[in-house]
Every structure is written in C-alpha cells, then in structure tokens.
C-alpha cells in the first residue's frame, strides 16, 4: 500500500438515517474544515466517503462523522479502513449517488424548522410566504421517496426542475439547502390551488389561494387541505356550526377531533401542558398530543370533543399550516382549526388529487391542493404522556419508517399485524420497520392501500420476505391476505397468538433477548384464544419461544358479538348474569334496554345462542361504564372505556397506587381445583357486586369508575406477586389496548415497581394493535441457530 509519512487515506461507510438529512453536505463541510481531500456519495448502503490528509486529521474526521451528525441524522454505524493514497489534489467533492446492494434508512417527514419559518415570514426573503419552503433539516422525506438512493430524481419532486437560484443553493456547500432534495421556490416549485369542485379550473393560486382559504374557514366552511401525507378536512374549531357540519358530513358520531393551534401559547391557554408535552408539541415530529383541557371557553366549540376532558392538539408542521393560521400582519382568522383525516368513515386517507375531488365531495366545500404528488399515505401520529414518558397511541407521521433495533436477529419477513389500527412490519437482521398507520381493515380501499404500502416499504428497506406472519384469527382480513400472498409467492405462513404478540412487542421494544420469560399482562378488547374463545384479560408467562396462560379474567358471554361491543349495556347485563346479580330496574345498564330487549337478551344468554365466551378486560371496562351510567352505546372504538377513565380522573387526584380503602372492589383469584396446572381465574363477581351496591346507594359514577380502576390495579399486583412466588420471574410487561389508559398504566407501574418488579411499558410502539406486528415478527421470524 502506497504511504507518505504522516498522511493517510481512509474509506468510510456510514449507515443509519443518513440520506435526505443533509449528511453529504455535513461530510463535505467537515472535510473542508479539516483540510482533507476526497469524496462522498450516497448508495444503497448509506453514505460512503474517502478522505485523505494528515493522519491526525483523518482520525478526527472518522470520530466526528459519527458523534456530531446533522440534526435529523441517526448514525447506526461508522466503519473505516485504510486505502492507498491517491494525492487527489486539494479538493473534496460530492459524487453522484450510486445504486448497488445494501440498505439505508429513510428519514421520516419532519416539521418545518425555525430557520425556514423565519424566512417564510420575512418579506425580504425570496421564499416569503412560499408554501413549500424546506431545507436539509426539515420537510417531506418518507412520503415523497419513490426509491433509493435518496436523490431528487427518486422523489416526487423529480417533475420540478430547479431554477438557477435554487440550483446555486443546492450546489453551495455553505448553504443550508446544499443537496436538499425537496428544495424549491416560487419560481420553480409546486403550486397551491383552491377549487370549489371538479369543474373549477383552480385559477386561485398560491397567495390568493391561501387568502381565500382563510376567508372561507373564517366564514364556517369545511376545507379539504392537502398536506404531507394526505388530505385533511379542516374547519374553524371555535365555530359550533362548522364543527357540527363536519361531524355530520363525515358521519363521525361523537369521536373527538384533533385540532391544530397557531402557537404554544394558545395551547397553554386551552389545556394543561407539562414539560414533556411541551417537548412533544415543539419537537421535529409534532404529533397530535392528548392534553387535559382547561375550563370550557368559546375558543373551542363543545362539539370538537363532546364529553371528553382530553383534546388532541398539534402545532403547525408544514408551511401551508402556518399560512392558514396567519402570519404577522394578516387579517384576523381562526387561531385553532379542526384537522381530521381526509376520508370518509372507515376509508383510508385520500392522497390523490383527482380522488380527493370525488371521494371528498359532499364533505368539503373547497379543496386547497398542490401539485407535488404524495407517494406514501401517512396519517398524523397520536401520543400522550404517561408517568412522565411518551406513550404512543398511533405511530405514523414523524416516526415511520424509522426502524426499531431488535435485540435478536430475524430472517427476512413481513408481519401483517391485525385488523384494527393496522400497521405491518418488515424485518431483516437486527431491524424492524413498522409501517405508517393503515387503519381498520374494513373495506376494499383499505386493503388496496395496505397492499401498496407493503410493496413500497419492502422495496424501500430492501427486505425480500422469506416468511409471512399473521394473527391466528381465521376471520381477520389481514390473515386472509397473508394466506393468499403466501400461496402466490410460495412462502411459508406462520400464525402468532394475539396476546403473545402483544407481550413480545413490549419485550422487543425494551431490548430483551428472550432468554428469560416475563409476566405478560395483555389486556385488550379482542384476541383469538387457543380454546376458540375471545381472550383479552390475559396473564402469560412468555418468552419469544412460547407462553403459558398463567391467569385470565373469568369467562362471560359476549351476546351477539359486535352487538355487545356497540352496546356496552349488553355486556353489563351479561356480566351481571354471570355474577348471579339481578337486572334491577334502578341500574342504569338495565334501564338502557327496553323490557322486550331484556327478555330477548335473557333468552339468548340462557340458550347460549351467538354467545361466544370472552375473558376480555376491554369488555369488562365497557360493562362497568354502562353499570355506572357513563356510556351505554358507543360510536367509536373504546369509547365506553375512555369515558370511564375520564370519569375516574374527574373524581379526585392522586395515583391509583396510593393505599386507600376500596370498599370491597376486589377480584377473587381462584383456582380450578380439579386441575392444579390450569390458569388462575380472576373472577369479577365481587367487583360487580360492590359496584351495584354503590350505584344503588347513589355513589357518583366518577367514584365507581375510580374504585374499579383501583381494583384492576390490585388484581395486576396480586397476580404478579403469585406468579413471582411460583416462578421467580420479576419482570412484568404491560401491553394491549387497555394500557392506552394512562390512569391504569401509571397505577399498575407504581405498585409493581414499589413491589420490586421491573416494569416494561410501551414508549416506542403503541400498546394497542398498532404495535402487534412487531411482536408477531420477533416471535415467528427470530433466527434460530
């Protein structure tokens, strides 16, 4: 190898999120600062460079490249090796991207940075009020990438040639837009248009379109607004008539809307914002953050979130959002907008402009669109803060497709998740890529969106599945898709039990290698059980290889299947019957049913007709919600349980783990005497009897709700203590959709940690079915020696 004393040349390979985040300009600037020569390029593996110069400076370069990356970059590894000197003059160059084998990681879409927002509002800047302002530190990434390596011609910006000014910025290493692929300006970038329907030619453009859109919103119109990952439907959140119109048109029922506020100050005026919530609201991901509302004010119409003390807030994450809410000097307009997914109920979010004019017809009064195509749909993410940490409810924009590092390697595989809150997961080696939120697999449009998304994510991640993985439920549409796909591709299909997948997802998120089992508390609404029953109140002793059902909620009938889910009073009456408690007329759940319906329901339960047994904790929450008079009929998933949590929070402050007399609200943990190896049964009959007595005595619904929550916490504490005594296991994983309930999650965590357990709570993937695919992947695709 050719050497010169004191000089060295090294080849450097960097992997991670290093494309579309200004990494090559960063490398260029670092090399120039250190006086090094050489080159840098993108390829399918990530970023590769060669640097030459004094050995000490080359060593400094190799250290800094991994420890001081650009703001949006995430460096997974830096590898470097000595290569022959080339004495290539005094320049360092950025070479064109190349293809080839390998894998790199794509950045999620990122909220507009402060520097771009400053330019957007600066009349002296050439991008003043430009709706598509962006730089290497912000803007669309995942939703515009068509293939790798990440270059402009491989994004949906390929159809927008740069003007001379943008090209100069793009090639200037000292510029913030150096090699920023979505770079554009009013002279060469996408255009905004405002239309009032399919026949409107869209003559209102850019600034005029924004001005008219703001006027329409102020006058009570509903607008379809094209964003980064799809269309939103927007209206003035302070206009009761506009909110009612949107709710009626979208057939939204009583499900809360999310809102977009113009500033953190506005959010603080309307809701309680702690330091963790502030960080989430202002950070680069800008998800919807669930916050506790302050006293009602006219700024938010009651119909935005009827009956809910919580409201989902987000701050502007695109230049269009900022312009719609107004810049300094603009005429007054709404400070808070409803921003809900642009779709009809049950359908996937709309991304195509022509489809938007037809599918959103009858929902929107006008369409604020642009001509930059969206390649990948991506809904807003939703999070809340629980015990001082982020708890994902929906992981999508700003998070997807950033991978989860796995504690054990997996073979190339695709796990398809479940049918509710669907996300899927591609995995290979030590990485798992969770998709953006797909939604409920209820119709053909969602299934088609699911299929397109699986193809895009596996292409983008270079995962060529050798295995497909699904839930054990034979009726799931995701299961049926996986079965057809496996047959068509000649791939094996593996099925993973629903609650085992929930527990495994928590284990994987926390980096457990599966060598030791955990006590898995899997509480949700529905999961196909090994015995054909509907499980959902499960305690599993689990690792990645398998599980044993250690305990479960006692079975009761699910009368009419979905009818019982939609009508919690049916679950309440079923639970009362199982507990041997009469359907007294003074009980709210009995009063919610007509006498004739009660007679029919009693006959159905006696005969067991269409009455699948269930151990679901989610359905027990529904039952107590109706029993306490909180919610008898639901218009959206988990409504009764959410309203029961809200009632408990309204009752009094203080964690559920505090020692406090619980007035008989206690589950009975019993064994099946004839089978000592059978699971323990958590019988809710004593809890229900105590709740009935309280209701009859006139105890408030909030107090009943809080006592019930405390009883569930005590059950988790008791069953984990018994499991530890019998097995020695001291780690507990809390998973399943019921643990989106922050009050319950905080209470369980507090008592278990006080008792010496290590508690695994979700922080990176949702505890609901949005995290299911990760658990499926690591259970079924884990590489075995």
Minimal CA–CA distance to 579: which of 703, 691, 453, 440?
691
What is the mean pLDDT of the segment spanning 425-443? 93
Burial 255-288 (b: 16+ CB within 10 A, else e): bbbbbbbbeeebbbebbebeebbeebbeebbbbb
Helix (H, G, I), strand (E, B) or coil at 639: helix
* CB-neighbour burial class of residue 457 (10 A; exposed 0-12, middle 13-18, buried 19+): buried
3-state secondary structure 83-113: CCCCCCCCCEEECCCCCCCCCCEECCCECCC
pLDDT score, position 100: 61
Q: Is the pLDDT of residue 1 over 50?
A: no
pLDDT score, position 87: 78
pLDDT score, position 653: 47
Q: What beta strand segments (E) does 302-420 contain? A: 310-314, 336-341, 366-370, 382-386, 389-394, 404-415
Give the global pTM. 0.92
pLDDT score, position 17: 79
Which residue, chain included where needed, has tokens 């009651």?
Answer: 302
Pairing mode, strands 680-683 and 382-386: unpaired
Q: Is the pLDDT of residue 103 over 80?
A: no
Q: What is the mean pLDDT of the chain?
A: 93
Of the ranges 67-71, 267-271, 547-551, which one carries the lowest mean pLDDT score? 67-71
What is the mean pLDDT of the segment spanning 195-219? 90
Tokens of 7: 């000089």
- Over the stretch 702-746, which tens digit does the pLDDT of each residue have? 999 999 999 999 999 999 999 999 999 999 999 999 999 999 999
Residue with the larger pLDDT of the pair 766 and 678: 766
- Over the stretch 468-510, which tens digit does the pLDDT of each residue have? 999 999 999 999 999 999 999 999 999 999 999 999 999 999 9
What is the mean pLDDT of the segment spanning 256-284? 97
Dist CA 40 CA 11 (whole Å): 10
Strand partners, 410: 429, 782
Quick count: other Cβ atoms within 10 Å of Cβ 533? 17
pLDDT score, position 673: 67
- For the chain, the residue count is 785
Dist CA 427 CA 435 (whole Å): 11
Strand partners, 549: 540
What is the mean pLDDT of the segment spanning 434-444? 91
Is the Cβ–Cβ distance between 517 and 528 less than 8 Å?
no
What is the mean pLDDT of the segment spanning 567-584? 97
pLDDT score, position 102: 59
User: Angle 423-426-431 (CA atoms, 0-180°, nearest 5)?
Assistant: 115
pLDDT score, position 2: 47
Of the ranges 47-56, 100-109, 421-430, which one carries the lowest mean pLDDT score? 100-109
Q: Is the pLDDT of residue 676 over 80?
A: no
pLDDT score, position 421: 92
What is the mean pLDDT of the segment spanning 322-349? 93
Dist CA 144 CA 154 (whole Å): 9
Helix (H, G, I), strand (E, B) or coil at 373: coil
Is the Cβ–Cβ distance between 301 and 208 less than 8 Å?
no
Dist CA 572 CA 633 (whole Å): 12
Helix (H, G, I), strand (E, B) or coil at 651: helix
Q: Is the pLDDT of residue 296 over 80?
A: no
Pairing mode, strands 7-19 and 336-341: unpaired
pLDDT score, position 658: 47
Minimal CA–CA distance to 502: which of 617, 403, 346?
617
What is the mean pLDDT of the segment spanning 76-86? 92
Is the Cβ–Cβ distance between 381 and 258 less than 8 Å?
no
- Over the stretch 514-537, which tens digit does the pLDDT of each residue have? 999 999 999 999 999 999 999 999
Residue 215 main-chain phi, psi, to 5 deg: -65, -45
* 82-86, Cβ contacts within 8 angstroms, sequence gap of 24 or more: 82/1, 82/8, 82/9, 82/10, 82/11, 83/1, 83/9, 83/10, 83/11, 83/50, 84/1, 84/2, 84/9, 85/2, 85/3, 85/4, 85/7, 85/8, 85/9, 85/52, 86/9, 86/50, 86/52
What is the mean pLDDT of the segment spanning 288-304? 89
pLDDT band with cut points at 50, 70 and 90 for residue 675: confident
* 265: CB partners within 8 A, 6+ apart: none
Dist CA 689 CA 702 (whole Å): 17
- Kindly list the distances between the CA atom of residue 685 and the CA atoms of 526, 666, 692, in Å, as whole numbers in the listed order: 21, 9, 10
Dist CA 191 CA 372 (whole Å): 8
Percent of the chain with pLDDT over 90: 81
What is the mean pLDDT of the segment spanning 249-264? 95
For residue 376, what is the DSSP state?
A: S
Of the ranges 83-87, 128-132, 351-355, which one carries the lowest mean pLDDT score? 83-87
What is the mean pLDDT of the segment spanning 565-586? 96
* 480: CB partners within 8 A, 6+ apart: none
Tokens of 434: 């969770």
């Amino acid at each position: 190898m050719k050497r010169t004393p004191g000089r060295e040349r090294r080849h450097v390979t960097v992997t991670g999120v290093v494309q579309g985040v200004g990494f090559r300009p960063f490398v260029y600037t670092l090399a120039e600062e250190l006086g090094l020569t050489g080159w840098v390029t993108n390829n399918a593996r990530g970023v590769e460079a060669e640097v030459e110069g004094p050995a000490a400076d080359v060593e400094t370069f190799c250290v800094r490249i991994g420890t001081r990356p650009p703001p949006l970059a995430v460096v997974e590894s830096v590898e470097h090796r000595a290569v022959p000197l080339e004495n290539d003059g005094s320049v360092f160059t950025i070479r064109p991207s190349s293809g080839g084998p390998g894998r790199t990681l794509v950045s999620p879409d990122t909220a507009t940075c402060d520097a771009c927002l400053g330019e957007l509002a600066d009349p002296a800047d050439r991008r003043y009020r430009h709706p598509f302002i962006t730089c290497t530190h912000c803007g669309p990434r995942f939703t515009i990438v068509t293939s790798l390596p990440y270059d402009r011609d491989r994004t949906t910006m390929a159809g927008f040639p740069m003007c001379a000014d943008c090209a100069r910025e793009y090639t200037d290493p000292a510029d913030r837009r150096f090699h920023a692929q979505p770079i554009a300006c009013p002279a060469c970038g996408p255009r905004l248009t405002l239309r009032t329907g399919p026949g409107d030619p869209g003559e209102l453009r850019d600034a005029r379109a924004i001005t008219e859109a703001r006027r329409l919103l102020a006058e009570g119109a509903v607008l379809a607004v094209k964003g980064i990952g799809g269309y939103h439907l927007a209206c003035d959140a302070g206009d009761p008539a506009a909110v009612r119109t949107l709710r009626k048109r979208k057939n939204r029922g009583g499900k809360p809307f999310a809102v977009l506020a113009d500033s953190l100050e506005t959010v603080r005026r309307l809701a309680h914002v702690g330091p963790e919530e502030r960080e989430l609201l202002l950070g680069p991901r800008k998800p919807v953050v669930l916050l506790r509302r302050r006293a009602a004010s006219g700024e938010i119409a009651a119909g935005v979130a009827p009956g809910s003390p919580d409201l989902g807030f987000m701050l502007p994450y695109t230049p269009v959002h900022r312009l719609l809410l107004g810049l300094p000097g603009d005429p007054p307009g709404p400070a808070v907008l409803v921003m809900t997914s642009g779709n009809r109920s049950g359908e996937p979010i709309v991304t195509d402009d022509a489809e938007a004019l037809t599918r959103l017809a009858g929902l929107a009064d006008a369409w604020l669109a642009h001509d930059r195509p969206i390649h990948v749909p991506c809904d807003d993410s939703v999070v809340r803060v629980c015990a001082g940490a982020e708890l994902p409810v929906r992981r999508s924009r700003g998070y997807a497709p950033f991978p989860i590092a796995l504690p054990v390697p997996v073979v190339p595989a695709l796990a398809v998740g479940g049918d509710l809150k669907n996300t899927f997961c591609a995995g290979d080696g030590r990485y798992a890529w969770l998709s953006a939120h797909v939604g409920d697999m209820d119709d053909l449009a969602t299934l088609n969106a699911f299929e397109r998304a699986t193809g895009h994510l596996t292409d983008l991640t270079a995962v060529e599945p050798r295995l497909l993985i699904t839930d054990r439920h034979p009726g799931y549409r995701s299961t049926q898709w996986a079965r057809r796909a496996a047959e068509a591709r000649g791939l094996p299909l593996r099925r993973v039990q629903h609650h085992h997948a929930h527990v495994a997802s928590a284990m994987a998120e926390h980096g457990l290698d599966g060598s030791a089992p955990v006590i898995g508390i899997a509480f949700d609404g529905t999961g196909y059980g090994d015995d054909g029953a509907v499980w959902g109140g499960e305690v599993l002793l689990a690792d990645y290889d398998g599980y044993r059902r250690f305990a479960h909620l006692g079975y009761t009938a699910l009368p009419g299947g979905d009818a019982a889910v939609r009508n919690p009073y049916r679950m309440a009456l079923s639970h009362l019957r199982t507990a041997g408690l009469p359907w007294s007329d003074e009980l709210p759940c009995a009063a919610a049913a007509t006498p004739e319906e009660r007679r029919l329901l009693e006959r159905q339960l006696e005969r067991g007709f269409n009455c699948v047994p269930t151990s679901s904790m989610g359905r027990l929450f529904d039952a107590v919600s109706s029993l306490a008079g909180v919610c008898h009929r639901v218009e959206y998933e988990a409504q009764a349980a959410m309203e029961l949590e809200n009632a408990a929070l309204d009752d009094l402050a203080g964690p559920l783990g505090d020692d406090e007399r619980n007035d008989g609200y206690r589950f009975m943990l019993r064994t099946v005497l004839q089978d000592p190896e059978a699971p323990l049964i958590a019988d809710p009959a004593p809890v229900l009897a105590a709740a009935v007595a309280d209701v009859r005595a006139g105890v408030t619904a909030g107090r009943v709700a809080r006592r019930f929550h405390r009883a569930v916490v005590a059950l988790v504490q008791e069953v984990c203590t018994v499991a530890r005594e019998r097995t020695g296991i001291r780690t507990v994983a809390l998973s399943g959709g019921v643990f989106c309930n922050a009050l319950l999650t905080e209470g369980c965590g507090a008592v278990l940690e006080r008792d010496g357990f290590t508690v695994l709570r979700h922080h990176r993937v949702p505890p609901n079915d949005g995290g299911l695919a990760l658990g499926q992947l690591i259970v079924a695709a884990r590489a075995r020696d």
